[in-house]
Structure 1
Amino acid sequence: MNWRDHLQARLLEMRPASVYALDEAARQMTSRVLPDTPVRAPGNPPDSLYALALGIDALNGLNVQQAQHLINQIRLYIAPRILLAVPSDCVLDEAMFRALGFTLSATDPTQNRHIHYYDLDTYKTVPDWLNSRYWAHPERWQP
């Protein structure tokens, strides 16, 4: 499966209520795959949080600092879920995407593209020690 097919399948699987397109290619794909979903065109400042931010060419031409800044701005102000299709020679490598909380969703070696996904709700697994059985029991405390 090539990266475009995978990206379309992910969009159909997620069915976000709204999409903020980070570039024109993302807007076109979203409009074609999800015609009934509201899509905010690139360059327009967001008026509220969107369910998903989609980028295909969003990181092209950016350096590492600019790419990280853009991703952080998207997470904070635009959408809690991000789907990015990036070329394999992107300024952010696999380790940097992992450090930013992304998971690798697919790789297309024929067209040198990687699809990375970020979801605020699932980017970090809850550690076992963060469980109520390890919490203090104030009802057992006696002064």
Structure 2
Amino acid sequence: MALPDDVKALVEATMARVGDDGRVLIVRPEGHAELSMPGQADIDTLELTDRFDRATNLVFQRRYRLAVVIDAPGIIGGVATRQMLAYLRNVGAHGVLAVFPRSPTATREPDTEWSVSDFLGLGFRRAEQAKTLASNYWVYRYNIYDYKITPDWLNSRYWANPEQWDRERW
């Protein structure tokens, strides 16, 4: 099984932005086609099976720059996928890219259904390039560096009050 060409190009372009000094984790179904990445980045691959256990399989020495998760709900189910994405988001990687097919196939269990609200509930955003995809895939991302935009009021201009420094002490 392989990703459609447009989805594969989007994933590989995202992986290329990591650079040569970053580590990338690819979590994909067993027997899934390999993804290529230009440069000398360190790529680790973790294969999803129906016997996948997050507690034993997702143990890392240090964080990855990017984790790419492909078609997890179809293999391990919706609940386990939510737990895995939350773990990768919180502990395993600075950024997570989730690539899931939109329409369930006939072989999938009922609890493997995935929706946009599942992504949003985990703090994921739709990848900008995903809007132009012709394939029927969801591509959502989480990046700790742009997860929350710093509000304007959260700077010293609003709370320092330097004109009172010589007059009052608190």
CA distance in 2, matches of 1:76, 1:50: 11
1:53 aligned to which of 67, 83, 86: 67
Offset at 1:94?
1.9
Structure 1 vs Structure 2: percent identity of aligned residues? 23
* 2:113 aligned partner, one-letter code: V
Name 2:168's counterpart in structure 1: 141
Name 1:9's counterpart in structure 2: 13
Deviation sequence 1:67-124 (CA, Å, 0-9, x none): 2211111122210111111111473322331232212110466431021111001011
SS in 1 for 2:73: coil
Offset at 1:23?
2.1
Structure 1 runs (4+) greater than 6 angstroms displaced: none
CA distance in 2, matches of 1:94, 1:44: 24
Conserved? CA contact 2:24–2:64, under 8 Å: yes
Conserved? CA contact 2:15–2:24, under 8 Å: no
Name 2:124's counterpart in structure 1: 102
Conserved? CA contact 1:2–1:108, under 8 Å: no
CA distance in 1, matches of 2:63, 2:146: 18
Gaps of 5+ in 1: none
Determine whether 1:91 maps to 2:91.
no
Q: CA RMSD in A?
A: 2.9
Offset at 1:141?
3.2
Using the size of structure 1 for normalisation, the TM-score is 0.78
Conserved? CA contact 2:67–2:88, under 8 Å: yes
Deviation sequence 1:23-81 (CA, Å, 0-9, x none): 2578821xx22362211221463221111111112332344432221111112221011
Moved more, 12-21 or 123-132: 12-21
CA distance in 1, matches of 2:65, 2:138: 22
CA distance in 2, matches of 1:47, 1:59: 26
SS in 1 for 2:9: helix
Gaps of 5+ in 2: 47-56, 104-111
Using the size of structure 2 for normalisation, the TM-score is 0.68
